[in-house]
Structure 1
């Protein structure tokens, strides 16, 4: 039951009706018996900053930020945490002491999901090949590099966009020259050397064209991850399983990336377990 002292947070997007974050955070609020609410907030482009400052004045603890507002949120913050600086975008806002603080939990959520789904996975095992060069690609690439990934290859149809992402990652790193040597751009995915293949594009998502890729060159020890979670079981993951490869589905990244924000807004670091996955996945199609 909500009271006048309820802690409030939400997710900002345009549109926002597709977001599963209210279902996720609502489940956690109920599980931990917290006097609070997490609501969807539809905010049109160009209105983000004024809405965010109004929410802070209205007593909200913070908010998640989704498409198309992540870069605008970066600019709206009074304080940008290192996670957001490395990712070049903000997906988590915290309102504290009159300031808007921005962070990014996408990369952290990806790694946590990877470690959960592939126990014993070693980030130093070899080359990570990332398909795509958008905001999710940057957050995941930065997290992998910071965790010790020895080599990272960015593959994108728009090579200029991939080169820009590589340059941003090199600039955002340690700056000792070593980072530059760890990152490269390729026109086609070098699958034969990949220890990890990550799809960060919307290809394979419900309503989008399929991701057309031949996985036969991948080593038998490779891991294949897809951040798409609608549908839950993408064609990429099915093809990887058919090859006997270990796979990482995208729903877990959504679940894990929500944990740090929930802790800062509501005071509890929530758990991700099978019951939570089942609850959030209940209204998501299994296959496209």
Structure 2
């Protein structure tokens, strides 16, 4: 598709950002729908974030994605933030409307869509174990609670980040019970038997590593595993789940779903079914 003076520009800011697969997702969808839009990477260093945001706003960029390390730092630079993004404490999608920059977080939307589509799992009334307590865990914990989870337990190597996250979210979402544990609990079959779903929000698996002693086989009957890691497509954690016959999926579906949500925010259009996932799978 030819780029002209009428082409609408979107993109992604981060540092570094050249490795991002988001241009693959969005440009495939723009092309499939015949939209005169383009999505490009914008490398923005942390110390120049304010300048970068002001520049994007001044040149009329329609919207942009936000990745590491800007998801938190960008919030005070925006004109408005949605309640969910404010609760999560991070923004990954920005849209320009009537001269204002509005921040969203579609990571949680992506997770819920992924577990429903790939695992036929509805969080409502369920008990869920979240591995990790970083930014990805925060969006997972909030989105699972908003989806009606009865209980969310955060297991993390360090206690303080997990406790801080649980305390913060519990104060805002009292209908869900929150708890924290150390990673040593993962080898306790009695503990693991209390969960319907395990969500890995950490980078464990990217380098072929795993969680030693994880008692996956003790999950509730029908229990599932969702691993946010998508490269490699089959982590040791997923391989173990498959060997045990446990329904599982990698992070590809979440990446696609959060991208589709951002696409709808910017364009008001829905990407063709399978368009983004097919484009991403071809690259991976």
| TM bracket, shorter-chain basis | over 0.9
2:127 and 2:196 in contact (8 A); partners too: yes
1:70 and 1:90 in contact (8 A); partners too: yes
Which residue in 2 is equivalent to 1:140? 140
Equivalent positions of 1:72-111 (< 5 A) are 72-111=73-112
Equivalent positions of 1:17-28 (< 5 A) are 17-28=18-29
**Secondary structure, counterpart of 2:46 in structure 1:** coil
**2: CA distance, partners of 1:267 / 1:124:** 28
1:34 and 1:266 in contact (8 A); partners too: no
Which residue in 2 is equivalent to 1:126? 126
Aligned residues: 276
1:125 and 1:195 in contact (8 A); partners too: no
Q: Could you give the per-residue CA deviations for residues 168-211 of structure 1, whole angstroms, max 9, x where no partner exists?
A: 111332xxx544xx101112243111100000001111x47433
**1: CA distance, partners of 2:175 / 2:71:** 29
1:200 and 1:227 in contact (8 A); partners too: yes
- Provide the alpha-carbon RMSD of the alignment: 1.6
- The question of 1:228 aligning with 2:223 is answered no
Q: Unpaired segments of 5 or more residues in structure 2?
A: none
Which residue in 2 is equivalent to 1:68? 69
Stretches of 4+ moved more than 4 A in 1? Answer: none
Which residue in 1 is equivalent to 2:179? 184
Q: Post-superposition shift, 1:249?
A: 1.5
Change (3 A) 1:277 1:102: same
Q: Post-superposition shift, 1:260?
A: 2.3
Which residue in 1 is equivalent to 2:152? 152
Which residue in 2 is equivalent to 1:278? 278
1:256 and 1:272 in contact (8 A); partners too: no
Q: Could you give the per-residue CA deviations for residues 221-245 of structure 1, whole angstroms, max 9, x where no partner exists?
A: 1010000111112111111111111
- Calculate the TM-score normalised by the size of structure 1: 0.91
Q: Could you give the per-residue CA deviations for residues 153-174 of structure 1, whole angstroms, max 9, x where no partner exists?
A: 000001100001101111332x
Q: Post-superposition shift, 1:125?
A: 4.8
Equivalent positions of 1:186-225 (< 5 A) are 186-187=181-182, 188-189=185-186, 190-205=191-206, 207=207, 209-212=209-212, 213-225=214-226
Equivalent positions of 1:258-277 (< 5 A) are 258-273=259-274, 276-277=276-277
**1: CA distance, partners of 2:117 / 2:159:** 33
**2: CA distance, partners of 1:160 / 1:199:** 19
- Calculate the TM-score normalised by the size of structure 2: 0.92
**1: CA distance, partners of 2:43 / 2:107:** 21
Which residue in 2 is equivalent to 1:238? 239
**Secondary structure, counterpart of 1:216 in structure 2:** helix
Q: Post-superposition shift, 1:70?
A: 0.4
**Secondary structure, counterpart of 2:262 in structure 1:** helix
Q: Unpaired segments of 5 or more residues in structure 1?
A: none
